[in-house]
Amino acid sequence: MMTARVTECRDCKAKIMFIKIAGKDRTMPVNAESVYYIQKAGGPAKIVTPNGEVLSAELTDNPDKATGIGYISHFATCPNADKFRNKNKSDRKKAR
């Protein structure tokens, strides 16, 4: 079900993958390790499902309670997420 390639966050070196967001022409970095989640509107975690849907959810360790298996947005856990968000600015300065 999952064909995304595992890669490394260029900032914190965590294992991440890029999942294509359903219906959008873009990908989102997520932690490579899958998690169990309980889908919940307004939940604290941003989950991306293997199908590329982005959900609000609560994480759980209990597979019996979980509504599915997904991936946590790497923006939420990357210690250098600010750099990510300013990526466009810094890229421009670097002059590729």
Which residues in the 2-41 window bind Zn ion by CB under 5 A? 9, 11-12
Whole-number minimum distance, CB 9 to Zn ion, in Å?
3
By the 10 Å C-beta count (0-12 exposed, 13-18 middle, 19+ buried), 18 is classed as: middle
Whole-number minimum distance, CB 78 to Zn ion, in Å?
3
Which residue has 């600010």 as its token pair?
A: 82
Whole-number minimum distance, CB 26 to Zn ion, in Å?
18
Q: Round to the nearest angstrom and report the end-to-end CA distance of the chain.
A: 36
Choose between 57 and 78: whose C-beta lies nearer to Zn ion: 78
Query: Interacting stretch for Zn ion, rule CB under 5 A, among 19-27, 35-43, 61-69, 73-81?
Result: 73-81
Contact status, residue 34 vs residue 65, Cβ threshold 8 Å: no
